[in-house]
Amino acid sequence: MFFDPMYFLFIAPALVLALVAQMWVKSAYASAQRMPAPLTGAAAARHVLDSSGLTDVEIEQIPGHMSDHYDPREKVLRLSGDVYASRSLAAVGIAAHEAGHAIQDAHNYLPLVVRNLAVPAATFGSNFSFLMLIAGMLLSAPPLILVGIGLFGLVVFFQVVNLPVEFDASARAKTQLVSLGIVDAEGMTYVNRVFNAAAMTYVAATLQAILTLLYYLMRFSGGRDD
CA distances from 168 to 30, 55, 67, 104, 108 (A): 24, 21, 19, 8, 13
- From the candidates 58, 60, 74, 98, give the one annotated as an active-site residue: 98
d(CA 212, CA 54): 40
Amino acid at 18: A
d(CA 83, CA 65): 9
Q: Which of 11, 144, 169, 158 is nearest to 77 (CA)?
A: 169
Contacts of 5 (CB under 8 A, 6+ apart): none
Is 98 known to be catalytic? yes
| 69 CB-contact burial (10 Å; exposed 0-12 / middle 13-18 / buried 19+) | middle
Asked whether 131 and 100 are in contact (CB, 8 A), the reply is: no
Question: What are the catalytic residues?
Answer: 98
